[in-house]
Amino acid sequence: MGELHDKLSASDKGSDAFTKSALNQAIDFFLAASQKVNEAAEAVREPGMPLDKISRWTRQMPLQALAIAFLLGVMTVRRRR
């Protein structure tokens, strides 16, 4: 990441070709990172995984889920004071 910052900083002084190269590298880096995040999110949402269980439970009992989320929020705020 530091190399990219250095190249982008140098591109202010350099040519347009260098700027396009640095921009392409930044785009490739961003696309690769977003792909990894998407893959991780899909893996967690597979049937039987915790996030799948929580989302199913929330759809079945929305008021109870809201009450629990509220209580967790209250407990978190009180703990930080």
Q: What is the pLDDT of residue 34?
A: 95
- Identify residue 52 by its one-letter amino acid code: D
Model confidence, pTM: 0.42
Mean pLDDT of the chain: 82
Q: What is the pLDDT of residue 50?
A: 81
**pLDDT (tens digit per residue) in 20-59:** 788 889 999 999 999 999 998 888 878 888 888 888 888 8
If you search the block for the tokens 């590298």, which residue do you land on?
25
CA distance 40 to 77: 30
Give the CA diameter of the chain: 60
pLDDT bucket at 10, cuts 50 / 70 / 90: low
